[in-house]
Amino acid sequence: MKYRGYAYIYTIGCQMNVYDSEKLAIILNSYGYETTDDMDKADIVVCNTCSIRHKAEEKAFSFLGRFARIKKNKPHLITVMAGCVAQQEGEKAFVRVPHLDIVLGTQAFSRFGKLIDAVKSGKQKVVDINDSSMIYEAMPATSCTDENKISKFVTIMQGCDNYCTYCVVPHVRGRERSRTETNIVEEINLLVKAGVKEITLLGQNVNSYGQKEGLISFPQLLAKVNDINGVHRIRFATSHPKDLSDDLIYAIRDLDKVCNHLHLPIQSGSNKILKKMNRGYTREKYIDRIFNLKKECPDIALSTDIIVGFPFESREDFNDTMNLLREIEFDSIFAFAYSDRSSAPAAKFSNQIDEGKKKERLNRLLELQEYYTEKKNKKQIGKILDVLVEGKSGKKRDGFDHALKNMEQMVGRTESNKIVHFPSKDVIIGDIIKIRIENAYPHSLWGHPLGAQNK
Ligand code: SAH
Ligand code: SF4
Ligand code: F3S
C-alpha cells in the first residue's frame, strides 16, 4: 500500500486507550497514513487522552501545546485530540489549544476519516463528541500488525453505569454498552492468527457484560474465549466487587486458560467512605467475596485499586484502609491520591483533604504495600512456575548474568502477572515455559528454565 503521509499517535491513560489507539492506527492506515515513532516526520499527530485525574489531563494539554510552534513551520500538520479529555472538553479544548484541528470524542472514531477530509478541505476546528450506540462494530477489527506482540487487549464493553462519585468515566465514555460475542470472538481469532497468545478482555465493569443487551453472561463469554484454539492465556479487567458472582469464581477455577489472578478494586477500607463513593458494597462484603474466591482458588493472586484522601477521609478511615491491606495481603496495588474532577459529584463535597495530607497518606500506603508485595514475591522462591515469554530483558543481576555467555536475558510473566527474568539460549517468544524461581525482589522474580544448568 502506498501511504500519503505519516501519523504519530501518543497514548495516555488506561488499557482501553491503548486498545483504542490501535483502532485509530488502523483507521489512519486505511486512510493513507503510515504510523511512525518519529514525531518529527508526522503529517498528523493524535493525542489519545485520559481525564481520570488532573495530572493525566494536564499531560494531554502540555503535549498538544507544543505543536503551536511546530505548526508555524509545518502548516499542513493536522493535530487531533482524541479520547476522554476530548469528550469532556468538546469545543472548550480550542480555548487552551487554539491551533488544534480536530476534537475526536470517545464514540466518534468511526467518523474520524470524514473529519480529516473536512480539515483537508479547509474546515477549521472540527469537533465530534456525539454519542453512538454502536461502539466498535462499525470499525475495522483489530488485526495485529505488531510482530512479537504476544499479548493484546480486546475491549468487550465500553462505558459505565455505576457513577462512583469521584469518577469521570460515565461522563466521558457514556452509558455501558457491550459488544456481541460474535464480534469479540471474530477479533480474537484475527489476533490469534497473527501470533497473539494472551488476551486481556477489557471493560469498566466486565461482570455486568451483556446484561443490558440480554447477551451471554461474562462467565459464559470467558468459556467461549477459552474454547478458541491458539489462545493460551486469558486475563480480564476490571471486575466490580458488587457484581463478582459465584459463576465468575467458578469460571476462574475451572477454565484452564483463565489466569489465576483477579484485579478487584476496593478503593477504600472504610464503610463511611465507600458509601460516599457510591461503590455499592461494604468492607465486609468485599472481604466475604475474597473469602469465597480463596475457598475455590486458594493460590489466586489479588490486586486492587485504592484512592486515598477522598473528601471526608479521617485518620480512622485511612487506618481502615491500611488495616485492610494487612488483612488481605494483596499481591500488588495501584494507589492514587484523590483528584477532583469537575464533572464528578465529589468535586462539590465539602471536607476536601489537604494535598500534603493526601501525599503523606499515599506514601504510607505504598510503603506498607511494598512489604506485602515483596513478601508475596518471596513466597514464590523454590516454586516452578509457568511463564509466558514476552521478550528480551535489559535487566542484569549478579548471580544471574555471569553465566550468560551465549545466552540472552529474557523476561516473561507468571499467571499471577508477576514479572520473571531468566537467562536462556533458545527460548521462543510466546512460549509458555517452566521456570524455577530462585530470587525475588519487590518488582520481579528471577530464575532459570527447568532443565537449564544453574549458574
Ligand atoms: N472501572 C474500574 C476502574 C476505572 S478508573 C473500577 O471501577 O474500578 C481506574 C482507577 O482510577 C480507579 O479504580 C480508581 O482507583 C482511580 N480513580 C478514578 N477516579 C479517580 C479520581 N478522581 N482520583 C483519583 N483516582 C481515581
Ligand atoms: Fe468509574 Fe466507578 Fe465506573 Fe469504575 S465503576 S469506571 S470507578 S464509575
Ligand atoms: Fe482515562 Fe478514559 Fe481510561 S478517563 S482511565 S482513558 S476510560
Tell the residue nearest (CA) to atom 7 of ligand 3. 169
Contact partners, residue 435, CB within 8 Å, separation at least 6:
384, 385, 387, 412, 420, 422, 447, 448, 449, 450
Residue 337 reports pLDDT greater than 80 = yes
pLDDT at residue number 392: 87
Distance 101 CA to ligand 3 centre (A): 22
Decide whether any atom of ligand 3 lies within 6 Å of the 173 Cβ.
yes
User: Best mutation site among 167, 169, 177, 334 for ligand 3, i.e. most ligand atoms within 8 A of its Cβ?
Assistant: 169
CATH class of the domain defined by 384-454: mainly beta
Give the model confidence (pLDDT) of 127-179 as tens digits.
999 987 665 655 556 665 565 689 999 999 999 999 999 999 999 999 999 99
Ligand 2: which residue has its CA nearest to atom 1?
Answer: 167
Provide CB contacts within 8 A for 10, sequence distance 6+.
45, 46, 47, 48, 63
139-259 adopts what CATH topology?
Transcription Regulator spoIIAA (3.30.750)
Cα(404) to centroid(ligand 2), Å: 46
Phi, psi of 340 (to 5 degrees): -65, 130
* Beta-bridge mates of residue 8: 45
What is the Cα–Cα distance from 188 to 269, expressed in whole angstroms?
37
Contact 305 CB / ligand 1 (< 6 Å)? yes
Distance from Cα 50 to the centre of ligand 3, integer Å: 5
Least confident piece of the model among 161-170, 175-184, 364-373, 425-434: 425-434
Atom of ligand 3 nearest to the CA of 106: 2
Beta-sheet pairing, 5-11 with 44-49: parallel
Q: Is 52 in the pocket of ligand 1 (CB under 6 A)?
A: yes
Q: How far is the CA of 85 from the centre of ligand 3 (A)?
A: 9
Is 453's pLDDT higher than 60? no
Task: Average the pLDDT over 422-429 and give the result.
Answer: 84
pTM of the model: 0.95
Show Cβ contacts of residue 136 under 8 Å, excluding neighbours closer than 6 positions: 23, 155, 158, 179, 183
Neighbours of 440 (CB within 10 A): 21
pLDDT tens digits, 214-233? 999 999 999 999 999 999 99
Q: Which CATH superfamily is domain 5-128 in?
A: Methylthiotransferase, N-terminal domain (3.40.50.12160)
Q: How far apart are the C-alpha atoms of 264 and 242, rounded to whole Å?
A: 10
Instruction: Indicate which residue's Cα is closest to atom 1 of ligand 3.
Output: 50
Domain limits of the chain? Answer: 5-128, 139-259, 384-454
Atom of ligand 3 nearest to the CA of 15: 3
The number of the ligand 1 atom at minimal distance from the alpha carbon of 335 is: 15
Residues with CB under 6 A from ligand 2: 160, 162-164, 167, 169-170, 204-205, 240
Q: How far is the CA of 262 from the centre of ligand 3 (A)?
A: 20
Q: What atom of ligand 3 comes closest to residue 16's alpha carbon?
A: 3
**Ligand located closest to 176 CA:** 2
Q: How close is the Cα of 296 to the center of ligand 3, in Å?
A: 32
The pLDDT assigned to 134 comes to: 62
